Amino acid sequence: MCVHAITLHRTPNAMNRVVKALLRRHQTITGYVLVLPALIYMLFFVGYPIIDNFRLSLLDVNVMNVSHGEQPYVGLQNYRDLFEEGILVTSIVNTMIYTAACIVLQFIIGLAFALLFSKSFRFAQRLRGFIMISWLLPATITAMMYKFMFSGDGVVNELMTQLHLGSHVDWLVTPVPAMITLIIANTWIGIPFNMILLTTGLTTIPKDIYESASIDGANALQKFVRLTLPLLKPAIYSLLVLGFIYTFKVFELVLIATHGGPVNATQMMSTYAYKLSFELFKFSHGAAAANVMFVILFMVGVLYLWMVRREEVSSS
């Protein structure tokens, strides 16, 4: 009604402009109304805690003063404590070794699975679906299964003895084998994710490229190295970064299978931050450790967004 009253005596051109402006305002308002509830929720329960982490890491908050009482400002003392104690550095190194090993293994096996199950044979689709289960299971359950299989009298040691592959290994209580166990367990979780993304990547490669390569006399290996891998590049990029982020998150798996042990040999940044806050009740130290983790993740996140942007620019 109102619109008509204002625009009646104007020229059609001006009328169009007014209608457009009103439509745009309608778009903006509706957009905000729809998005803001979820955004505010996330800002309150995720955004605020991230900022509060910085505040907490500069104070001395412990079990005595967490609810009430004075929380003295100590500056960077918490960070100094953590780096002097050395476990934080150990946990950073452990997390990096673990993440790198997992990403590489998941990718190689995931690619092999993707190549196998993207061939058209009976049950291929269904079997690929079954493999997805390992990705959907709660990490707690996976940790429990691997802890059992790799325990002293577990099925892994039993198999190794039966097949004469080596002597009894105390997998979970010896430093290097404990790390290997965790890497195997996490690789098991990550394979389906790699397989699915690489399968999607494979289906986007046009078939006739291979045919013309065959005519030119290329063999299977040449076709794989020269054609398949380069054409999978976008999928590989996102897998590397997403793989990093998802593997870096590891918490339940380590907490349950090794609890960071033996003697911090598998202590990760996440489990260490948890231990500081909720086993030792040094909340400020926990916040400081989490902040170091945040800085590392932030840098990788920026790298990822930069890569996505570059892909988008080059493909458009």
- Residue at 164: amino acid letter: H
- Residue 184 CB, nearest approach to other proteins (Å): 10
Please choose, out of 73-81, 84-92, 216-224, 294-302, the segment that lies near other proteins by the rule CB under 8 A.
294-302
Q: Which of 45, 70, 207, 219 binds other proteins (CB under 8 A)?
A: 45
Q: Which of 14, 19, 21, 49 binds other proteins (CB under 8 A)?
A: 49
**By the rule CB under 8 A, 88 interacts with other proteins:** no
Interaction pattern, residues 204-223, with other proteins; x per rule: CB under 8 A: --------------------
**By the rule CB under 8 A, 19 interacts with other proteins:** no
Please choose, out of 75-83, 97-105, 216-224, 283-291, the segment that lies near other proteins by the rule CB under 8 A.
283-291
**By the rule CB under 8 A, 15 interacts with other proteins:** no
**By the rule CB under 8 A, 89 interacts with other proteins:** no
261-280: which residues touch other proteins (CB under 8 A)? 269-271, 273-274, 277-278
- Cα(139)–Cα(216) distance, integer angstroms: 48
Secondary structure, 3-state, the chain: CHHHHHHCCCCHHHHHHHHHHHHHHHHHHHHHHHHHHHHHHHHHHHHHHHHHHHHHHCECCECCCCCCCCCCECCCHHHHHHHHHCHHHHHHHHHHHHHHHHHHHHHHHHHHHHHHHCCCCCCHHHHHHHHCHHHHCCHHHHHHHHHHHCCCCCHHHHHHHHCCCCCCCCHHHCHHHHHHHHHHHHHHHHHHHHHHHHHHHHHCCCHHHHHHHHHCCCCHHHHHHHHHHHHCHHHHHHHHHHHHHHHHCCCHHHHHHCCCCCCCCCCCHHHHHHHHHHCCCEHHHHHHHHHHHHHHHHHHHHHHHHHHHHHHHHHC
- Residue 9 CB, nearest approach to other proteins (Å): 27
Q: Which of 223, 227, 231, 252 binds other proteins (CB under 8 A)?
A: 252
**By the rule CB under 8 A, 110 interacts with other proteins:** no
118-157: which residues touch other proteins (CB under 8 A)? 119, 121-124, 127, 129-134, 136-142, 144-149, 153, 155
Yes or no: say if 195 and 110 are a contact pair by the CB < 8 Å rule.
yes
Please choose, out of 27-35, 72-80, 85-93, 173-181, the segment that lies near other proteins by the rule CB under 8 A.
27-35
- Cα(112)–Cα(104) distance, integer angstroms: 12
295-314: which residues touch other proteins (CB under 8 A)? 297, 301, 305
Q: Which of 28, 69, 85, 229 binds other proteins (CB under 8 A)?
A: 28
Q: Which of 108, 116, 229, 299 binds other proteins (CB under 8 A)?
A: 116
Yes or no: say if 91 and 267 are a contact pair by the CB < 8 Å rule.
yes
- Residue 276 CB, nearest approach to other proteins (Å): 8
169-208: which residues touch other proteins (CB under 8 A)? 188, 191, 193, 196-197, 200
Q: Which of 65, 118, 238, 264 binds other proteins (CB under 8 A)?
A: 238
- Residue 129 CB, nearest approach to other proteins (Å): 5
Q: Which two tokens stand for residue 221?
A: 């290996």
